[in-house]
A = this chain, B = another copy of it.
């Protein structure tokens, strides 16, 4: 018999955020959250994020660790025109390929910005490792690039969004993870034991517990996640039944 619903190997991703300004706290990263949501929507599992400084050895080491481990690696930051923009050169070094000014990018920059001189700084943005495909961004300017399983994007969120949209149609995607959120109306500590039992009884479903506080006091969101719609529904029902049992117990009434 065929098994149309048999899960295929998951598509995974790592993210490498490059920039001193994130590590000093001067700039607050907004790209991790955006890319995380985007990957989830595509059915790609974002498994790891690293943030490193504008230091070539650190970028090369992190990139090599991530690219051998995940289906895709996305990078953000360090592809601008100044001396601290060393991502493209670091990626070339990680892949062991030459890098030079790419005539395709020069052409794009000349067309888009005929009034801006193509000086040494701007030509830095045209440096692309040999063998890379461009990740164009329409009229926004210099493109990102894609080499092997690594997609190199800008750090400025609006430009990064355009590059991600541009690369996305070419990504292998997985079976999308579905999720259901159940508000517990209970403190995490009051339901944790029973929730652990539900999680153990539903090993193919991820069950997360996220405490929060609002004006009514401490509460907990329980998030059930699965690629299988039936297993998701069964686990959600088990969570709801567990919550009803706990509420009865807390109210001191066995039935």
Contact = CB atoms under 8 A, between A and B. Distances in A.
B208 A21 contact: yes
Nearest to A19: B208
A196 interface: yes
A80 B209 CA distance: 9
Given A20-B208, A156-B211, A83 B50 contact: no
* Nearest 3 CB-CB pairings of A with B: A121-B192, A25-B37, A25-B36
**Taking the full assembly, how many copies of this chain does it contain?**
2
Contacts of A111: none
A40 to B, nearest CB: 5
Interface size class of A (residues with CB under 8 A): 35 or more
Contacts of A206: 20
Interface string A125-153: 10000000000000000000000000000
A209 B22 contact: no
B33 A32 contact: no
Given A28-B33, A32-B51, A47-B53, A192 B22 contact: no
A242 to B, nearest CB: 12
Contacts of A26: 179, 208, 210, 223
Contact of A52 (B39, B48, B211): B48
Contact of A209 (B23, B82, B156): B82
Given A80-B188, A116-B189, A210-B21, A196 B39 contact: no
B193 A119 contact: yes
Interface string A24-54: 1111110011111111100001111111111
Contact of A190 (B22, B121, B189, B191): B121
A51 B13 CA distance: 13
Interface in A72-129: 80-85, 116-117, 119-122, 124-125
Given A36-B22, A49-B51, A116-B187, A82 B192 contact: yes
A197 to B, nearest CB: 9
Nearest to A81: B192
